[in-house]
Structure 1
Amino acid sequence: MIDKDTLDVVTSVATVMTPLLLTVLGGLGWLIKQKVETAQARQDVLQAKQEAQIARLRELEDKLREDRIVTYNALLEPFFLFFTTDAAFASDPKYKGKKKDELAVSKMLSVEYRQVGFKLSLVANDEVVRAYNRLMQFFYRSNSDEPPTEQTMVRWIALMGDLFLEIRKSMGNETSALDRWEMIEWFMRDAHHIKIEHSRLEFEEKSIPG
Structure 2
Amino acid sequence: MEAKTWLDYITAIGSIATPLLVLVLSAVGWRVKAGIERRIDLENQLREDRVSIYNKILEPFVMLLMSDAAWASDKRNKGKDKNELATAKMLSLEYREFGFKLSLLGSDPVVNAYNDLMQYFYNIGDNLAADPHHNQLREMMRLLGTFLLEIRRSMGNDATTLDCWDMCEWWMSDTRRLRDEAPGA
TM more than 0.5: yes
User: What is aligned with 2:53?
Assistant: 71
User: What is aligned with 2:23?
Assistant: 41
> 1:50-199 alignment to 2 at 5 Å?
50-143=32-125, 151-197=135-181, 199=182
CA offsets 1:91-132 (integer angstroms, 9 cap, x no match): 223323211100000000000000111011111111111111
1: CA distance, partners of 2:178 / 2:58: 20
Larger Rg, first or second structure (1 or 2): 1
2: CA distance, partners of 1:193 / 1:29: 78
Could you list the structure 1 runs, at least 4 aligned residues long, displaced by more than 6 angstroms after superposition: 27-31
User: What is aligned with 1:208?
Assistant: none
Count of matched residue positions in the alignment of Structure 1 and Structure 2: 175
TM-score for the superposition, normalised by structure 2: 0.84
Matched residue of 1:183: which SS?
helix
Instruction: For structure 2, list consecutive stretches of 5 or more residues without a partner in the other structure.
Output: 126-132
TM-score for the superposition, normalised by structure 1: 0.74
How far apart are residue 186 of structure 1 and its match? 0.9
1: CA distance, partners of 2:165 / 2:17: 64
Percent identity between the aligned chains? 42
